[in-house]
Amino acid sequence: MEIRGKKILITGAAKRVGRVIAKTLAERGAHIALHYNASTSAAEATAREIRELGVEVDIFQADLRQLAALEKMVDRVYTRFGQLDVLVNNASVFLKTPLQSLSEQDWDTILDANLKGPFFLSIFVGRRMLQAGLQGKIISIADWAGERPYRDYVPYCISKAGIIAMTKGLAKTLAPKVAVMAVAPGPVLWPKDLGAAELEAVLNKTPLKRLGTPEDVATTVAFIIEGSDYMTGSMIFVDGGRLAY
């Protein structure tokens, strides 16, 4: 699938990794439906930058945890763009949840944002792709820790393991028209609540001895869209070799 001219919805695209994914795809000629939740000013700024690249872009607000809001957003996106060729499920929350302080609210916040939202958004968009007879693609950002969970972030790791299972299940459900893949980053954009000693420990267990970058993730998303149309149910690890350590 050629990226140029395609219409792509990216969740959580106002900032951080999502912003870089949006700009990377726009630089290759994609028209961008940019989702955000609370970061209105950042979404508007990212949209201005993308618009300067000569492609279409619009911003769409929705709380991914609310299914009614998701459905309304999908309606607005289709009204604006007419169709979607690609969905990128990028938005997620990353919360430290030590066992001693873990609450039901923590669980609901993480699982609803990181798994329920992407699952139902994939269903809403996937159905429309099938109805339109499109050769569409759905790409979700998972995490290497979905395969090897670590302490103090167990609900987060569970949510990303769910994304991996979702990818494999929807690849079968939406075939042969819609391909479904995932990208599983390793350490990218070091969390503010983790210190230098913890960073050093992570790097010591990462064969490439560096943190990943948002660009590493974004170019992998671009490859999945444009590099091969004979992939579905696949997951690409962008983790510096961390999983293999």
Task: Provide the CATH number for the domain formed by 7-238 in this structure.
Answer: 3.40.50.720
End-to-end CA, the chain: 34
Instruction: Give the distance from CA 65 to its chain's centroid.
Output: 15
Q: Where are the domains of the chain?
A: 7-238
pLDDT at 193 over 80: no
**Chain-wide mean pLDDT for the chain?**
95
Q: How confident is the model at residue 195 (pLDDT cuts 50, 70, 90)?
A: confident
Average pLDDT over residues 192-207: 83
Q: What is the pTM of this model?
A: 0.96
pLDDT of residue 156: 97
Residue 194 clears pLDDT 90, i.e. is over it: no
The pLDDT tens digits for 131-187 are 999 899 999 999 999 999 988 999 999 999 999 999 999 999 999 999 999 999 998
Active site residue 156: yes
**56-105: per-residue pLDDT in tens?**
999 999 999 999 999 999 999 999 999 999 999 999 999 999 999 999 99
Three-class SS of the chain:
CCCCCCEEEECCCCCHHHHHHHHHHHHCCCEEEEEECCCHHHHHHHHHHHHCCCCCEEEEECCCCCHHHHHHHHHHHHHHHCCCCEEEECCCCCCCCCCCCCCHHHHHHHHHHHHHHHHHHHHHHHHHHHHHCCCCEEEEECCHHHCCCCCCCHHHHHHHHHHHHHHHHHHHHHCCCCEEEEEEECCECCCCCCCHHHHHHHHHCCCCCCCECHHHHHHHHHHHHHCCCCCCCCEEEECCCHHHC
pLDDT at 161: 98
Give the pLDDT of residue 244: 81
Q: Is the pLDDT of residue 34 over 90?
A: yes
pLDDT for position 7 = 98
In one-letter notation, the amino acid at residue 117 is G
> What integer pLDDT is reported at residue 150 of this predicted model?
86
Q: Which is catalytic among the residues 36, 150, 156, 245?
A: 156
pLDDT greater than 90 at residue 197: no
